[in-house]
């Protein structure tokens, strides 16, 4: 997971990519929120597609804003905390899979080995 580290070049690249994504998605959201939609087609399928599309564009804009915030303000301890959480998540997932495997083995032995 060392694709991005704390060097200034990586952070500038992340800000550049986030700004590159932020410009068209921000423009799209601005156009959606400022245009009058009273004369739009009233078909519910088209309205559904419009709202789903706006939600996707809004999510992309939010991710680009969070990318800028991450690149500018992330402290050094975040990387260590993320690594700690990821390691513990993997161990918890392995334990859960072992429990599920044990449950399946118990069910197999009790149902088919009578």
- Cβ atoms within 10 Å, residue 28: 17
Instruction: Kindly indicate the confidence band of residue 2, based on its pLDDT and cuts at 50, 70 and 90.
Output: low
Helices (H), 1-114: 8-34, 44-73, 77-112
- Nearest Cα residue to 73 out of 3, 15, 13, 2: 15
Q: What is the pTM of this model?
A: 0.60
Q: Examine the domain organization and report whether 9 and 46 are in the same domain.
A: yes
Total domains in the fold of the chain: 2
Q: Examine the domain organization and report whether 61 and 96 are in the same domain.
A: no
Range of the domain at 105: 76-114
67 contacts 18 by C-beta, under 8 angstroms: yes
Instruction: Kindly indicate the confidence band of residue 102, based on its pLDDT and cuts at 50, 70 and 90.
Output: very high
Q: Examine the domain organization and report whether 80 and 67 are in the same domain.
A: no
Whole-angstrom CA distances from 29 to 1, 10, 34, 46 are: 32, 28, 8, 18
Q: Examine the domain organization and report whether 61 and 15 are in the same domain.
A: yes
C-alpha gyration radius of the chain: 24
Q: Once rounded to an integer, what is the mean pLDDT over residues 30-39?
A: 87
Q: Examine the domain organization and report whether 24 and 7 are in the same domain.
A: yes
Q: Examine the domain organization and report whether 6 and 43 are in the same domain.
A: yes
């Amino acid at each position: 997971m060392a694709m991005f580290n704390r060097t200034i070049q990586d952070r500038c690249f992340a800000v550049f990519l986030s700004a590159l994504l932020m410009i068209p998605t921000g423009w799209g959201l601005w156009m959606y929120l400022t245009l009058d939609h009273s004369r739009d087609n009233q078909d519910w399928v088209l309205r559904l597609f419009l709202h789903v599309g706006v939600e996707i564009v809004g999510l992309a804009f939010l991710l680009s804003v969070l990318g800028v915030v991450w690149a500018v303000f992330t402290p050094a301890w975040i990387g260590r905390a993320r690594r700690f959480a990821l390691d513990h998540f993997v161990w918890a997932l392995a334990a859960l899979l072992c429990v599920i495997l044990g449950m399946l083995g118990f069910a197999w032995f009790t149902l088919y080995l009578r």
